[in-house]
Amino acid sequence: MKVILKQDIKGVGKKDQVINAADGYARNYLFPKNLAVPADMGNMNNLKAKKDSENFRKGEDKKASQELAEKMKNMTLEFKVKAGENGRLFGAITAKEIAETLKKEYDIVVDKKKILLPESIKVAGTTKVDIKLNEGVMAKLSVMVTTL
Protein backbone atom coordinates (compact mmCIF):
# COMPACT_ATOMS: atom_id res chain seq x y z
CA MET A 1 0.00 0.00 0.00
CA LYS A 2 1.38 3.44 -0.92
CA VAL A 3 1.40 5.98 1.91
CA ILE A 4 2.68 9.53 2.44
CA LEU A 5 4.64 9.95 5.66
CA LYS A 6 3.62 12.89 7.86
CA GLN A 7 6.90 12.86 9.84
CA ASP A 8 10.31 11.19 9.85
CA ILE A 9 10.25 7.55 10.95
CA LYS A 10 13.60 5.93 11.62
CA GLY A 11 14.23 3.04 9.26
CA VAL A 12 11.12 3.80 7.17
CA GLY A 13 11.48 7.22 5.56
CA LYS A 14 11.45 11.00 5.79
CA LYS A 15 8.54 13.42 6.10
CA ASP A 16 6.51 13.92 2.87
CA GLN A 17 8.06 10.84 1.27
CA VAL A 18 5.84 8.39 -0.60
CA ILE A 19 6.67 4.79 0.38
CA ASN A 20 5.32 1.30 -0.10
CA ALA A 21 4.26 -0.07 3.28
CA ALA A 22 2.74 -3.41 4.11
CA ASP A 23 -1.06 -3.21 4.40
CA GLY A 24 -1.12 -4.35 8.03
CA TYR A 25 1.70 -1.99 9.05
CA ALA A 26 -0.05 0.95 7.43
CA ARG A 27 -3.55 0.17 8.79
CA ASN A 28 -2.54 -0.97 12.28
CA TYR A 29 0.41 1.32 13.06
CA LEU A 30 0.93 4.28 10.69
CA PHE A 31 -2.68 5.45 10.30
CA PRO A 32 -3.82 5.13 13.95
CA LYS A 33 -0.71 6.96 15.22
CA ASN A 34 -1.25 9.66 12.56
CA LEU A 35 2.21 9.04 11.10
CA ALA A 36 1.02 8.63 7.51
CA VAL A 37 -1.93 9.12 5.17
CA PRO A 38 -2.96 7.00 2.19
CA ALA A 39 -1.37 8.09 -1.09
CA ASP A 40 -4.70 8.72 -2.85
CA MET A 41 -5.28 11.40 -5.50
CA GLY A 42 -6.29 14.17 -3.08
CA ASN A 43 -3.35 13.66 -0.73
CA MET A 44 -0.91 13.43 -3.66
CA ASN A 45 -2.21 16.75 -5.02
CA ASN A 46 -1.80 18.35 -1.57
CA LEU A 47 1.77 17.04 -1.38
CA LYS A 48 2.57 18.37 -4.86
CA ALA A 49 1.14 21.81 -3.99
CA LYS A 50 3.16 21.87 -0.76
CA LYS A 51 6.39 21.00 -2.59
CA ASP A 52 5.72 23.60 -5.31
CA SER A 53 5.14 26.25 -2.65
CA GLU A 54 8.35 25.28 -0.85
CA ASN A 55 10.37 25.41 -4.10
CA PHE A 56 8.94 28.85 -4.93
CA ARG A 57 9.83 30.16 -1.45
CA LYS A 58 13.37 28.76 -1.75
CA GLY A 59 13.74 30.46 -5.13
CA GLU A 60 12.61 33.80 -3.69
CA ASP A 61 15.00 33.45 -0.75
CA LYS A 62 17.89 32.66 -3.09
CA LYS A 63 17.06 35.65 -5.30
CA ALA A 64 17.01 37.96 -2.25
CA SER A 65 20.33 36.49 -1.07
CA GLN A 66 21.93 37.12 -4.46
CA GLU A 67 20.78 40.76 -4.37
CA LEU A 68 22.21 41.14 -0.86
CA ALA A 69 25.51 39.57 -2.00
CA GLU A 70 25.76 42.15 -4.80
CA LYS A 71 25.11 44.94 -2.29
CA MET A 72 27.70 43.55 0.14
CA LYS A 73 30.36 43.41 -2.57
CA ASN A 74 30.67 47.22 -2.41
CA MET A 75 30.50 47.52 1.40
CA THR A 76 33.44 48.06 3.70
CA LEU A 77 33.19 47.69 7.46
CA GLU A 78 35.61 49.85 9.41
CA PHE A 79 36.97 49.00 12.83
CA LYS A 80 39.17 51.39 14.79
CA VAL A 81 41.12 49.56 17.47
CA LYS A 82 44.21 50.00 19.61
CA ALA A 83 47.32 48.27 18.37
CA GLY A 84 50.83 47.61 19.54
CA GLU A 85 54.01 47.61 17.54
CA ASN A 86 54.06 46.04 14.08
CA GLY A 87 50.30 46.63 13.68
CA ARG A 88 49.31 43.74 15.98
CA LEU A 89 45.95 44.43 17.60
CA PHE A 90 45.16 44.33 21.28
CA GLY A 91 42.46 41.66 21.02
CA ALA A 92 40.98 40.61 17.70
CA ILE A 93 38.06 41.22 15.34
CA THR A 94 35.75 38.19 15.50
CA ALA A 95 32.81 36.98 13.43
CA LYS A 96 30.48 38.10 16.23
CA GLU A 97 31.78 41.68 16.03
CA ILE A 98 31.41 41.68 12.24
CA ALA A 99 27.79 40.47 12.53
CA GLU A 100 26.98 43.12 15.17
CA THR A 101 28.52 45.91 13.07
CA LEU A 102 26.60 44.78 9.96
CA LYS A 103 23.37 44.92 12.00
CA LYS A 104 24.17 48.31 13.53
CA GLU A 105 25.49 50.13 10.45
CA TYR A 106 23.59 48.57 7.54
CA ASP A 107 20.64 46.86 9.28
CA ILE A 108 21.64 43.53 7.74
CA VAL A 109 21.10 40.49 9.97
CA VAL A 110 23.66 37.73 9.41
CA ASP A 111 24.24 34.83 11.78
CA LYS A 112 27.81 34.85 13.09
CA LYS A 113 28.12 31.17 12.16
CA LYS A 114 27.58 32.08 8.50
CA ILE A 115 30.63 34.39 8.50
CA LEU A 116 33.47 32.18 7.29
CA LEU A 117 36.45 33.55 9.18
CA PRO A 118 39.20 30.91 9.57
CA GLU A 119 40.64 32.81 12.52
CA SER A 120 40.05 36.18 14.10
CA ILE A 121 41.56 39.25 12.41
CA LYS A 122 44.60 40.21 14.48
CA VAL A 123 46.44 42.67 12.24
CA ALA A 124 45.58 46.09 10.85
CA GLY A 125 44.69 46.31 7.17
CA THR A 126 41.92 45.26 4.80
CA THR A 127 40.66 41.69 4.79
CA LYS A 128 38.11 40.03 2.51
CA VAL A 129 35.62 37.95 4.48
CA ASP A 130 33.30 35.30 2.96
CA ILE A 131 29.70 35.18 4.17
CA LYS A 132 27.41 32.26 3.31
CA LEU A 133 24.00 33.84 2.77
CA ASN A 134 22.10 30.91 1.29
CA GLU A 135 22.74 27.53 -0.27
CA GLY A 136 25.12 28.29 -3.13
CA VAL A 137 25.21 32.07 -2.47
CA MET A 138 28.41 33.54 -1.05
CA ALA A 139 29.12 37.21 -0.43
CA LYS A 140 32.50 38.90 -0.10
CA LEU A 141 32.74 41.70 2.45
CA SER A 142 35.72 44.01 3.02
CA VAL A 143 36.74 44.54 6.63
CA MET A 144 39.16 47.42 7.17
CA VAL A 145 40.97 47.55 10.49
CA THR A 146 42.72 50.80 11.39
CA THR A 147 44.68 51.68 14.49
CA LEU A 148 43.97 54.58 16.81
Domains and CATH numbers, the chain: 2-63 (3.40.5.10), 68-147 (3.10.430.100)
* Tens-binned pLDDT, residue by residue, of the chain (148 aa): 999 999 999 999 999 999 999 999 999 999 999 999 999 999 999 999 999 999 999 999 999 999 999 999 999 999 999 888 777 888 899 999 999 999 999 999 999 999 999 899 988 889 999 999 998 899 999 999 998 8
- SS (HEC) of 56-92: HHHHHHHHHHHHHHHHHHCCEEEEEECECHHHEEEEE
